[in-house]
Amino acid sequence: MDTGSENQYAMMHPEIPKFSYRLFKWFCHEDLFEELQGDLEENFLMNTAEQGKKKARKIYNYEVMKLLRPSAMRKANLFPKGIAQLSRNYLKTSVRAVRHNPGYILSNIVGLALALSISTIGYFYYHFNDTFNKHYDQAAHLYKIHGLRTSEATLGSSSITLAPSLRAAGIDAMRYHKETVAIRLGTRLFQESTVFVDPQYLESFELRSLSGQKLRLQNADEIFISSEMAEKLFGDVYPVGEFVEIVFPNEEERSFVVKDVFQDPPQNVSFHFPMITSFDNYLEFYGADENDWTKYIDGTFVNLENIGSDQVEAQLNTMIEPHNKYNPSRVIEKFRLDNILEWPNFETTLAGSSFWNTLHPASVWGTVSTAFAILLLACFNFINTSIALSGKRLKEIAVRKVMGGSRKSTIAQFMIENTFMVLASVLLSIGVSYFLIPAYNSLMTQEIVELDKVPLDTLIYFGIGLIIFVALLSGAYPSFYISRFSSLEIFRDKLVISGKNKLMLILLTFQFTLCFYNFSSLFVNVDNSLYQETLDRGYNLEKVINIPLSSSEQLAELKNRLDQHPDVLQVAGTTNTIGFNFRNATTTIDGMDHEVADLAVGINYPQLIGIRLIKGSFFSEQYESSADHIIINKMLEDEVGHDLLNKSIKLGDQVFSVIGVVEDFNLRPMMFENRIKPTVLRPSPEKSYRYATLESQNATTSLNLEIEGMWYELFPQQLYKGFLQEKVMEDIRATNTIMVNINLFSSLITVLISALGLYTLIALNVQRRSKEFGVRKVLGASKSVIIGLLGKDLYWILGIAMVIGLTSAYFVTNAVFDIIYAYHVSFGLSHLLWPTVSLVGIVVFTIGYKVLQTGKMNPVEQLRME
Amino acid sequence: MKETGLGEFQEIVLLAILILDENAYGAKIQNEMSQRLGRTISRGALHAALTRLSEKHFIESKFGGATTERGGRRKRFYTATNLGKSALNDAKTIRDEMWTLVPKINMQ
């Protein structure tokens, strides 16, 4: 038989059920896959034509199932060999044990299943960073060129001439640049980004079509688009041969022919784009000169497969000199090559770079440790219930021993039972994950868990590893502990497993510590996100729209039209907009230098945006009469230390006189280090206006759409890029949502599992001690005494858990908030009180009825039991 | 009389291969059989039969050229070997002989 190994890039029909296909590929013998999959696919096409897509998919799934037979399966070890030989009797006993306590065992299984699903999510987080950019087969040879500088951040972007110069020296170099362009759809234009690349990029980064073919750009008027764009532009999954109309900034409109639709890469790569076309188009439509050292593009990459890095570095060294000559403001020390597997980790620290980067390590380890904590919690819960349940099976153990069973066989019995329960929860967790993962993804801003992009065998090995870990952790201790009991003691009724087992108490305390921790951080996070919403920015955040202008002449025309709109209150032009851009500058006051943020604004802009004046005045109506005036914020005045009104300050070479002092306001989205800074506002001449800013009366989203229509009547060839001032909040809102959701998620799950566990323990405790309570009652114990007895340990558990949980929540959330937010709520009494109240409430609710019932029970009932 | 080692299902597979002649590959055989028998045959069942048949050297197979309609995957074409054909013949002979011994079929 010749070996018909599957052609690596053979096409998979896009309609074929992905999961079945991958499952089939995984288990099928390599020599048979090509033939069998080919046949299935041929039938699939035939069935689609004859019976419709849905039926065909069903048949395909069925056929794959039917191929699960030894002769078609891979011979490698799919499953570890030597799984212990299971005796039938062990199984029988296990089934009986389950049948006697279905409720408790079910709760155990459900808890563990939830935790396993969460662990899967945690694993995906780890996997996301671990395999970042590994999607590219040649990743190990691909490097990005960075410009190392002495005191400033490393340059991520590079000069447009770098790649051609390297290529002239025989080095495989390529450029990648992303630009926002306008796409025409009817009379409207809309904003999309397009990537311009050298042909070498497609070669090295292997862009592939839906059918797995390597894509190549042959002519400049060709474009490749993503399937999402295909759907959006043409409402068709495969619009090959259709035309995309692109309007470039020089108002030139061009048609590009859709050459093919490319496969979406997984989320964890640096390169994401809806459209990709030849770099020649960038040169043509953006007036870029290939010999211009000052023209910067997003990135230059080199492929070092056939060349040593020292050779490339030597070549790069010869380019430092011309680079520095033409870029005095971006002087570099040397060029550095960074592998694309490494670079995403520090992408955020680079200047002028805008590629996708790896998740923040804190976010990965945060998720992984939360997942691990929940998994531990579920395991502990499992251990506790197993031990508690075994109290009912003491006689069974004793009989086994008396009949000559060894301790080994008892251990084996319990291990097997526990392993089966773990297996059951694994099966259940597959179902849970199926619903949980989409739900989880929808909570996040980015889809981190991509089930259909992860290699199946990785997932399966992870699953097997997890099962072994959980089975050992949860199964081993109870088995050893229980099997130790002496049969004599059991028969004499001397042995009592009460809830007094120290380990059980410790484990339960751990569970509740985690609950307190999660609850508390949930409350703080919710509080903080409310705080971020209502925090005073020092200016008017709502009802303001900014419209970027491509030339300052547009303002007059636009203002004319906008002034007629009933909802528009006022319109002003400006160069910088608060929240989005400013310049760092140095000002000299009384001979002392101060670092300030320098905002060049329109004459009426400060009033419009709602900056609050403390003293002095705003700019006068005419630029000419205000040209040497400047407004400063309170913080700058405080820093100088005395009244600056009407004083002169020097900014650069120009002298300004301070005509007003305003309250502090925020310059950026208030995240990370973006605190309020000493700021100056100076008037900018009309010809340098880059935005039209307007204040409106009503909700602004619909108004923005209306203005968009207005804009295209005025400037049909110009892209409308208007955005709400509220955009400042975008990042912070996304972060808040994620923080709150993650906390909500883990709080709910920890509480659910712990409550299940607690209920089980109490219920078993009540059962076991029913005689004791009966006797106590007969001897005169009141209801409250009984309740007190049942709850005695619980007070301690909750107390200790509360102290540890709340303290750690305090330290951890404070540390996290300090990193993420410029300003945040401080941890207060209410963040301690509310979690405690609600958690105690939940505990009371869970066990209250059971305890009350026991307290009320007629002692006769309790004593008559046997 | 001798043992042919040919099960009924395998016999039908072998016949289908002979009917399809040059064009006998998995999907075709499967469809041919489904049509003749008037019931769905799973590719898995067919695979098992084909494996048995090749183990007994009743059929041979080789890959055809690359195709476009099945995602570029090649077809594996099956042909009956002389051994297979004679086994089929033997099976038929046995049956025919037995049929001659059956006096009359009464359908009730």
Q: Give residue B1's pLDDT.
A: 38
How high does pLDDT run on average in chain A?
A: 85
Residue pair A665/A537 in contact by the 8 Å Cβ criterion: yes
Give the number of C-alpha atoms closer than 13 A to the C-alpha of residue A161, restricted to the C-beta side: 14
- Say whether pLDDT at A82 is over 90: no
The pLDDT tens digits for A514-541 are: 999 999 999 999 999 999 888 888 898 8
B76 in contact with chain A, both atoms CB, cutoff 8 A: yes
Q: Scanning the structure block, which residue is given the tokens 């190549």?
A: A216
- Please state, for a pLDDT cut of 70, what percent of chain A lies above it: 95
Q: Give residue A8's pLDDT.
A: 45
Report d(CA A42, CA B76) in Å as an integer: 13
φ, ψ for residue A20 (rounded to 5)? -60, -40
Report d(CA B44, CA B57) in Å as an integer: 20
Largest distance between two CA atoms of chain B? 55
- Say whether pLDDT at A691 is over 90: yes
Q: Give residue A7's pLDDT.
A: 45
Best of A15, A35, A74 to disrupt the B interface by mutation (most B CBs within 10 Å)? A35
The pLDDT tens digits for A92-109 are: 777 777 787 787 788 788
* One-letter amino acid for residue A792 of the chain: K
Q: Which one-letter DSSP state was computed for residue A681?
A: E
Residue pair A368/A80 in contact by the 8 Å Cβ criterion: no
Hey, what are A487's tokens? 């049969």
Q: How confident is the model at residue A5 (pLDDT cuts 50, 70, 90)?
A: very low
Report d(CA A79, CA A84) in Å as an integer: 13
Instruction: Provide mean pLDDT across the span A335-361.
Output: 88
The pLDDT tens digits for A639-660 are: 999 898 999 999 888 899 999 9
Chains A and B: how many Cβ contacts under 8 Å? 87
The pLDDT tens digits for A460-497 are: 888 888 888 877 877 777 778 777 777 777 777 666 55
- Closest residue in B to A43 (Cα) is B27
Q: How confident is the model at residue A413 (pLDDT cuts 50, 70, 90)?
A: confident
Buried b (16+ CB within 10 A) or exposed e, A540-565: bbebbbbbbbeebebbeebbeebeeb
The pLDDT tens digits for A166-188 are: 999 999 999 999 998 888 877 77
Residue pair A185/A208 in contact by the 8 Å Cβ criterion: no
Q: Give residue A79's pLDDT.
A: 40
Best of B70, B76, B79 to disrupt the A interface by mutation (most A CBs within 10 Å)? B70
- Please state, for a pLDDT cut of 90, what percent of chain A lies above it: 28
Distance from CA of B44 to the nearest CA of A (A): 4
Do B47 and A32 count as a contact with CB atoms less than 8 A apart? yes
User: Quick check: helix, strand or coil at residue A225?
Assistant: strand
Instruction: Identify the contact set of chain A against chain B, taking CB-CB distances under 8 A.
Output: 1-2, 4, 6-7, 10-13, 32, 34-43, 45-46, 62-63, 65-69, 71-72, 211
Query: Residue A167: enclosing H or E segment and its boundaries?
Result: helix A162-168
Minimal CA–CA distance to A39: which of B57, B87, B27, B101? B27
Do B74 and A34 count as a contact with CB atoms less than 8 A apart? yes
Q: Give the list of residues 6+ apart from residue A174 with CB closer than 8 angstroms, or none.
A: A163, A197, A198, A200, A201, A204, A300, A301, A302, A303
Residues of A in contact with B63 (CB under 8 A): 2, 4, 35
Query: Residue A397: enclosing H or E segment and its boundaries?
Result: helix A394-402
Q: Give the list of residues 6+ apart from residue B53 with CB closer than 8 angstroms, or none.
A: B10, B13, B14, B59, B84
The pLDDT tens digits for A185-230 are: 777 788 889 999 999 999 899 898 888 888 998 888 999 999 888 8
- Closest residue in B to A24 (Cα) is B44
Q: Give residue A86's pLDDT.
A: 46
Buried b (16+ CB within 10 A) or exposed e, A163-199: bebbeeeebbbbbbbbbebbbbeeeebeebebbbbbe
Q: Give residue A114's pLDDT.
A: 86
Residue pair A686/A600 in contact by the 8 Å Cβ criterion: no
Q: Scanning the structure block, which residue is given the tokens 């592998």?
A: A339
Report d(CA A830, CA A102) in Å as an integer: 41
Instruction: Provide mean pLDDT across the span A817-824.
Output: 86
Residues of B in contact with A72 (CB under 8 A): 44, 47-48
Do A69 and B48 count as a contact with CB atoms less than 8 A apart? yes
- Say whether pLDDT at A80 is over 50: no
Hey, what are A733's tokens? 């809102």
Higher pLDDT, A403 or A687: A687
Can you state the percent helix, strand and coil of chain B, rounding each to 5? 55, 10, 35
CA distances from A63 to A9, A45, A115, A491 (A): 23, 14, 33, 57
Of A549-558, A655-664, A784-793, which gets the smallest average pLDDT?
A784-793
Instruction: Provide mean pLDDT across the span A695-707.
Output: 85
The pLDDT tens digits for A561-602 are: 999 988 899 999 999 999 888 888 889 888 888 989 999 999
Distance from CA of B92 to the nearest CA of A (A): 28
Q: Give the list of residues 6+ apart from residue A328 with CB closer than 8 angstroms, or none.
A: none
Distance from CA of B87 to the nearest CA of A (A): 22
Best of A36, A42, A45, A74 to disrupt the B interface by mutation (most B CBs within 10 Å)? A42
Q: A565: which strand partners?
A: none
Q: Give residue A732's pLDDT.
A: 84
Residue pair A227/A237 in contact by the 8 Å Cβ criterion: yes
The pLDDT tens digits for A597-652 are: 999 999 999 999 999 999 999 998 888 888 889 999 999 999 999 898 999 999 88
CA distances from A232 to A15, A192, A225, A591, B91 (A): 19, 11, 11, 59, 62
Higher pLDDT, A387 or B56: B56
Of A89-93, A292-296, A553-557, B104-108, which gets the smallest average pLDDT?
B104-108
Q: Give the list of residues 6+ apart from residue A773 with CB closer than 8 angstroms, or none.
A: A766, A781, A786, A789, A854, A857, A859, A862
- Say whether pLDDT at A700 is over 80: no
Report d(CA A401, CA A610) in Å as an integer: 84
Q: What is the mean pLDDT of each run of 10 residues along chain B (108 residues)?
A: 72 92 90 90 91 90 80 87 91 89 74
Residues of A in contact with B31 (CB under 8 A): 43, 46
Report d(CA A560, CA A713) in Å as an integer: 13
Distance from CA of B90 to the nearest CA of A (A): 27
- Closest residue in A to B59 (Cα) is A1
Report d(CA A682, CA A597) in Å as an integer: 11
Q: Give residue A590's pLDDT.
A: 87
Residue pair A14/A210 in contact by the 8 Å Cβ criterion: yes
Q: Is A571 exposed, middle or buried (0-12, 13-18, 19+ CB in 10 A)?
A: buried
The pLDDT tens digits for A737-766 are: 888 888 888 888 888 888 878 887 787 777
Do A67 and B69 count as a contact with CB atoms less than 8 A apart? no
